[in-house]
Structure 1
Amino acid sequence: MSKIIYTHTDEAPLLATYSFLPIVAGYAAKAGIEIETRDISLAGRILAQFPERLTEEQRVGDALAELGELAHDPSANIIKLPNISASVPQLEAAIAELQALGYDIPAYSANPETDEERDAAARYDRVKGSAVNPVLRQGNSDRRAPASVKAYAKAHPHSMGTWSADSKTDVATMGHDDFFANEKSYVSPSDDTLRIEHVDASGAITVLKSDLKVLEGEVVDATFMSAKALDAFLEEQVARAKAEGVLFSVHLKATMMKVSDPILFGHVVKAFFKPVFEKHGADLAAAELSPNDGLGAILAGLDALPNGAEIKAAFDAALAEGPELAMVNSDKGITNLHVPSDVIVDASMPAMIRIGGHMWGPDGQEADTLAVIPDSSYAGIYQATIDDCRANGALDPATMGTVPNVGLMAQAAEEYGSHDKTFEIADAGTVRVVSSSGDVLLSHEVEAGDVWRACQTKDAPIRDWVKLAVQRARLSDTPAVFWLDVNRAHDANLIAKIEQYLPEHDTEGLEIHVMAPAEATAFSLARIRQGLDTISVTGNVLRDYNTDLFPILEVGTSAKMLSIVPLMAGGGLFETGAGGSAPKHVQQLVAEDYLRWDSLGEFFALAASFEHLAQATGNDKAQVLADTLDRATGTFLDEDRSPGRRLGTIDNRGSHFYLALYWAQELARQTDDAELAGAFAPLAERLAADERSIVEELLAVQGESADIGGYYRPDAAKAGAVMRPSATFNDAIAAL
């Protein structure tokens, strides 16, 4: 029997799975396809780290490690839903919930002192941040808005804010002494084992990483951000926002860049509240209230301090004195600086641009914003977009073209693979990368507090990335642009490799360019406004940024992207859109039994998974499932069956019913497989006849609180009952 692995993840996607997976399993079984699940949720990943502390009933396998091995198998077919890339506050919250549920796991210590604490911290470090994607993504990325989604957006354009020619919204970025400016890059001429070491002023050497294996042709980068320059820059931006009367906001990625960006976030908190930390910093540090965890965590811990009320008053005074802060939730007083994982650059910046360059202020009103993105590597793409909108007005979803993406991400390419090679420097000196023969390959003079990092990009993924870019350009007859800046050390090495590998492919008649990111943004936007398409071929971080930026402007959300990872070993990884895991949706479900999560990304990923299975195994029935699901999804969009925005309309569960109905109808009427048509005709008739009853049962539960038994580790029985409230629908699916 053919097999598809469907991942259990976190938050809204996990809750949706309780409703959608029984449908998928029932339909797939008729084609001889088995659906298996693997738990890669944050809670599951935590528990897998501590088997010796759990009872036999509590132990869980290391599903992520298992799937990592499977990703190297040509038979792999994995559907991967969005998961939590845990910041420290999220990690600590998940640990607390699991402990309350009776799991004997240790606390997390950011500054471990004992061997036991160091061991626990090392295990938790394997869980936090972007722990999942580098393991599973053993191939490069092919992300695009499906034709049906693009057609729907043009026929039913989503709302866009109005841009004013005199908008004060801008991006502030360092442009010097940052990761971009300080980067050095090296291409290894042979397989080697490198080490990273720090040499202090006295000549004493501390090995930071001793076993850094590299392959022939691998690109190794090293860079750092100056803490002193960062602090000066941030103080200037706080003053600028105040002088210009705009909101102050910072945009980082403390989830994926789990080592560096929480540190940078802490610098922002200290800069904004400089008088508070000058006076009370020692007390806060003694109480282990770190700015890296955000303002919210500090305020929550002040009650335990003897002078907590005084410090709270100092924070309030600084808020009143400084520029107005952009808000995550104005009603609840949650600012842009409360939680490092609340404002993620690739989601927050497109949302700001979509509504006219505004964020929400403390008064609950939209306002122009100074968007602070400290490192200048990619900040220019947002400034270029803002400049375009300021000059030409908001983009029009009814007429605009599209920007699909081919992303270099295989084998933890580029910055997302830097976590084990990122260090906050303790003492001034030199950090250097040294070969096994003792040659210094890369080095930087650093000061205490600087953030130094190295990252790797293997040659085979680069070669595959170039091949995939040419394939996509040929298949879609669309220009392809490599977003690379010859003035950046890493990019210069990639450009040389592109020039080496492009001749291996037939590029006759294709339009292929290399442009710096800001230039590529302007080029793509000019084409978009003419209704023309342009493929962006980017590195790993820009893959994330572009597959939020353009879809949010084009189709209103990145969750509707088709996201395929052709694994280099021959298998397939199918990701359900570029959206996050939507914690606010979970809060709404618990409060009023209504889940707004849109599973459209799951529908697209599932169809691509069936199609891959058909091609890999010769299962013709899988191809029929893929084709009929594509047509059913088109009907789903035409009939506007995505979750509504308010109680009394169908939510995620209702959208699953309608997808099942349209899919059964397509299967029943298709002529490629009489056996499948006969199997689904009774279900199609039954669902159509019972439509009113099923919808009524689904709507009846709305408005009351829902008990799912846990946030990070819901109780399967409780969550399943909440997400499958229609007995009529459940019976129909069970009859398959």
Structure 2
Amino acid sequence: MSKIIYTHTDEAPLLATYSLLPLIEAYAKKAGVEFETRDISLAGRILAQFPERLTEEQRIGDALAELGDLANDPSANIIKLPNISASTPQLKAAVAELQELGFDVPNVPEDPQSEDEKDIAARYDKVKGSAVNPVLRQGNSDRRAPGAVKAYAKAHPHRMGDWAADSKTRVATMGENDFFSNEKSYISPADDTLRIELVGEDGSTTVLKEKLPVLAGEVIDGTFMSAKALDAFLEGAIAEAKDDGVLFSAHLKATMMKVSDPIIFGHVVKTFFAPVFEKYGADLAAAGLSANDGLGAIYAGLAALPNGSAIKAAFDEQIAAGPELAMVNSDKGITGLHVPSDVIIDASMPAMIRIGGHMWGPDGGEADTLAVIPDSSYAGIYQATIEDCKQNGKLDPATMGTVPNVGLMAQKAEEYGSHDKTFEIPQAGTVRVVNGAGETIFDHEVDEGDIWRACQTKDAPIRDWVKLAVTRARLSGTPAVFWLDANRAHDANLIQKIEEYLPEHDTEGLDLHIMAPAEATRFSLARIRQGLDTISVTGNVLRDYNTDLFPILEVGTSAKMLSIVPLMAGGGLFETGAGGSAPKHVQQLLEEDYLRWDSLGEFFALAASFEHLAQTTDNAKAQVLATTLDAATAAFLENDRSPGRKLGTIDNRGSHFYLGLYWAQKLAEQTDDAELAAAFAPLAATLAENEKTIVDELIAVQGTSVEVGGYYRPDDAKADAVMRPSATLNTAISQF
């Protein structure tokens, strides 16, 4: 049997798995392919950290570590669904749920002091933020809109909001004393072990990171954001939003950038509500209520304070006095400052641009917005897009080209916030990065409260990234642009390496460019408007931003992208799209038994996975599965079988049925494998004959609330019952 690993993740993608996986397991088995699941959900990751506190029945293995090892095996074939990159509030909520379910996991320490608390905090740090992706992504990213998706978007263009030439929407960013402007970069001449230390003004030395192993040719960066400059910038931005009469919105990445961005988010909250924190800050701190966790966590804790109602009134007064806040849910009064993980820049900015530069205000209507992106490293790509739309109007999905991406991310390249190398500086002094010989390779003068961080990018992934970019440019026949700014220290070193490695490849006839991100944005948008395609070749963070920005504008969502990670060891990792509005989808399922999650990304990843399996294991039947699945997906799109937008239409479960129907039909009709055709012909007939019955059974359950046994750790039996409500379909699959 050939084997594919299918990841067990979180929220809507996990619920969809209960419906989809039994179907694809049954189909694949006929081709000698078996599926195994690995639990990399937030709850699963938490439980794996504390085996000594659990009963034997409760213990689970460390699936993430296991998959990390597998990613370095040439035989790896992993389908990776979106998972929660946990912010602190999400982590605490998951812990509370697990405790309610009878798992003896400890509380998340607020301010770890004892060795035991520090150990617990260190274990939870392994769970937070982008805990999964750096482990699994042992290759660089090749992400693009499949031809069938692009064709569907052109034939059925999604709604795009009109842009007014006099729109007040714009990006506000620091531009100085931020991560971009303070960055220093170094290429290690040999294998070495670095040390990061803080030399205080009082002469004391605090080791921030004792050992930082690096390899020859590795790029090491360090930078910091000034807390004083940040607060001054935020004060100005709040005043500007008030004066301009636009919404105030902060756009960060408090999930992936799990150390730096929650701190920056806390600065936003404290600055917006400066009078409240000046008067009641000590009370909030004593109660363990942190601005870094957002207004929602603070409000939830006020009931326990004797002056809680007075503090709440002070917050309300400041909301009324300040600029109007962009809302996450205006009906429920949830602002963009309620939860740090509610407004994630790579999803929120494209959505704002797509609807004409608007976000939702307190009155439930759309309004122009001041988009506050403190660090200027990539803020320019969004400002350039906004300027383009103001000048040229909204983009047209029916005619626009596409911007696929080749992303540098292998072996923790650029490390997504450099979690283990990010520090909130405890005292003024100098942060030094010192090599094994005791020499300072670079340093920064910092003040108390500044946010200092470093990251690493190994040489082998950079070389592989250049190779992948050349390969994609050759295969697609389109220009490829390296989005790098020669005025940024890290980018300057990458440009040096690109110029070294490009001559290793045949680049004759290729149209290759190096442009700063804002310039590359303008270049790509100009081509998009002409219906032309342009490959964006980017680092890790921009990979994430671009693979949301352009797909959301082009095809309406980033969840429908084909995301292939050719692992450097020879295996394959196939990703299924972004999580996006997964939490809202779960809420709707629980309230109405209706799941709007679109599994199209899973279909594309599955076909690519089968194809890779066929090539690496010489399994011809797996190739038939891949070919027919692609054909079935095309039929799925042509017949508009994605989940509907309202009750009474098919939801995620209905879309899975139609994929199964079309796939069985394509398998029965194909002529490459008579055995498979004969095996699937009866199933295709059964599903076609019972189409109305199955659809009726799937729709009949809609409209009532359901229970799945847990948000972060659903009960398998309950979730299975909810997600497989058609007895007719279940019988057909089980008998097959």
Q: Where in structure 2 are the equivalents of 1:92-171 lying within 5 Å?
A: 92-171=92-171
Q: Where in structure 2 are the equivalents of 1:581-596 lying within 5 Å?
A: 582-596=582-596
Contact 1:430 1:445 in 2 (8 A): yes
Task: Tell me which residue corresponds to 2:489.
Answer: 489
Task: Tell me which residue corresponds to 1:70.
Answer: 70
Alpha-carbon deviations, 1:269-296, whole Å to 9, x = none?
0111111111111111111110000011
How far residue 415 of structure 1 moved from its aligned partner, in angstroms, is 4.2
Secondary structure at 2:92 match in 1: helix
Secondary structure at 1:492 match in 2: helix
Contact 2:654 2:695 in 1 (8 A): yes
Secondary structure at 2:641 match in 1: coil
Task: Tell me which residue corresponds to 1:80.
Answer: 80
Task: Tell me which residue corresponds to 1:370.
Answer: 370
Task: Tell me which residue corresponds to 2:642.
Answer: 642
**In 2: Cα distance, 1:280 partner to 1:694 partner:** 59
**In 2: Cα distance, 1:169 partner to 1:622 partner:** 50
Contact 2:258 2:417 in 1 (8 A): no
How far residue 240 of structure 1 moved from its aligned partner, in angstroms, is 0.2
Task: Tell me which residue corresponds to 1:30.
Answer: 30
Secondary structure at 1:524 match in 2: helix
Counterpart code for 1:251: H
Contact 2:45 2:64 in 1 (8 A): yes
Task: Tell me which residue corresponds to 1:217.
Answer: 217
**In 2: Cα distance, 1:18 partner to 1:153 partner:** 28
Q: Where in structure 2 are the equivalents of 1:32-71 lying within 5 Å?
A: 32-71=32-71
Task: Tell me which residue corresponds to 1:427.
Answer: 427
Q: TM-score, normalised by structure 1?
A: 1.00
Counterpart code for 2:268: V
Counterpart code for 1:127: V
Task: Tell me which residue corresponds to 1:330.
Answer: 330
Contact 2:668 2:676 in 1 (8 A): yes
Secondary structure at 1:552 match in 2: helix
Secondary structure at 1:52 match in 2: helix
Secondary structure at 1:181 match in 2: coil
Counterpart code for 1:324: E
Contact 2:171 2:371 in 1 (8 A): yes
Contact 2:709 2:715 in 1 (8 A): yes
**In 2: Cα distance, 1:3 partner to 1:735 partner:** 22
Task: Tell me which residue corresponds to 1:395.
Answer: 395
Q: TM-score, normalised by structure 2?
A: 1.00
Task: Tell me which residue corresponds to 1:626.
Answer: 626
Contact 1:547 1:578 in 2 (8 A): no
Task: Tell me which residue corresponds to 1:320.
Answer: 320
Contact 1:417 1:456 in 2 (8 A): no
Alpha-carbon deviations, 1:146-186, whole Å to 9, x = none?
00000000000000000000000000000000000000000
Aligned residues: 736
**In 2: Cα distance, 1:471 partner to 1:671 partner:** 32
Alpha-carbon deviations, 1:310-353, whole Å to 9, x = none?
11111011000000000000000000100000000000000000
Secondary structure at 1:328 match in 2: strand
**In 2: Cα distance, 1:681 partner to 1:592 partner:** 36
**In 1: Cα distance, 2:442 partner to 2:488 partner:** 15
Counterpart code for 1:191: D
Q: Unaligned regions of 5+ residues in structure 1, if any?
A: none
Contact 2:83 2:579 in 1 (8 A): no
Name the stretch that deviates more: 684-693 or 304-313: 304-313
Q: Where in structure 2 are the equivalents of 1:506-525 lying within 5 Å?
A: 506-525=506-525
Task: Tell me which residue corresponds to 2:690.
Answer: 690
**In 2: Cα distance, 1:154 partner to 1:589 partner:** 30
How far residue 113 of structure 1 moved from its aligned partner, in angstroms, is 1.8
**In 2: Cα distance, 1:735 partner to 1:519 partner:** 58
How far residue 581 of structure 1 moved from its aligned partner, in angstroms, is 6.4
**In 2: Cα distance, 1:39 partner to 1:628 partner:** 29
Secondary structure at 2:242 match in 1: helix
2:700 matches 1:700: yes
Task: Tell me which residue corresponds to 1:405.
Answer: 405
Counterpart code for 2:241: A
Counterpart code for 2:384: A
Secondary structure at 1:190 match in 2: coil
**In 1: Cα distance, 2:709 partner to 2:4 partner:** 28
**In 1: Cα distance, 2:52 partner to 2:286 partner:** 33
**In 2: Cα distance, 1:417 partner to 1:250 partner:** 18
How far residue 412 of structure 1 moved from its aligned partner, in angstroms, is 0.9
Task: Tell me which residue corresponds to 1:461.
Answer: 461
Contact 2:110 2:288 in 1 (8 A): no
How far residue 580 of structure 1 moved from its aligned partner, in angstroms, is 3.4
**In 1: Cα distance, 2:661 partner to 2:247 partner:** 47
Secondary structure at 2:578 match in 1: coil
Name the stretch that deviates more: 369-378 or 198-207: 198-207
Q: Where in structure 2 are the equivalents of 1:253-332 lying within 5 Å?
A: 253-332=253-332
**In 2: Cα distance, 1:251 partner to 1:375 partner:** 10
Secondary structure at 1:331 match in 2: helix
Alpha-carbon deviations, 1:503-561, whole Å to 9, x = none?
00011100000000000000000000000000000000000000000000000000000
Alpha-carbon deviations, 1:655-705, whole Å to 9, x = none?
000000000000000001101101100000000000011001101100111
**In 2: Cα distance, 1:720 partner to 1:310 partner:** 46
Task: Tell me which residue corresponds to 1:199.
Answer: 199
Secondary structure at 1:367 match in 2: strand
Contact 1:185 1:493 in 2 (8 A): yes
How far residue 417 of structure 1 moved from its aligned partner, in angstroms, is 5.6
Secondary structure at 1:182 match in 2: coil
Q: Where in structure 2 are the equivalents of 1:549-564 lying within 5 Å?
A: 549-564=549-564
Secondary structure at 1:317 match in 2: helix
**In 2: Cα distance, 1:415 partner to 1:30 partner:** 41
How far residue 202 of structure 1 moved from its aligned partner, in angstroms, is 2.0
2:719 matches 1:715: no
**In 2: Cα distance, 1:608 partner to 1:194 partner:** 40
**In 2: Cα distance, 1:287 partner to 1:334 partner:** 22
**In 1: Cα distance, 2:550 partner to 2:159 partner:** 15
Counterpart code for 1:662: Y
**In 2: Cα distance, 1:261 partner to 1:347 partner:** 16
**In 2: Cα distance, 1:246 partner to 1:375 partner:** 21
Alpha-carbon deviations, 1:433-461, whole Å to 9, x = none?
00011000010000000000000000000
Name the stretch that deviates more: 576-585 or 552-561: 576-585
Contact 2:256 2:417 in 1 (8 A): no
How far residue 566 of structure 1 moved from its aligned partner, in angstroms, is 0.3
How far residue 305 of structure 1 moved from its aligned partner, in angstroms, is 1.1
Q: Where in structure 2 are the equivalents of 1:715-734 lying within 5 Å?
A: 715-734=715-734
Counterpart code for 2:667: L
Alpha-carbon deviations, 1:418-446, whole Å to 9, x = none?
10000000000000100011000010000
**In 1: Cα distance, 2:491 partner to 2:703 partner:** 53
Secondary structure at 2:180 match in 1: helix
Superposed CA RMSD in Å reads 0.6
Contact 2:592 2:702 in 1 (8 A): yes
How far residue 707 of structure 1 moved from its aligned partner, in angstroms, is 1.0
2:443 matches 1:443: yes
Counterpart code for 1:286: A
Secondary structure at 1:305 match in 2: coil
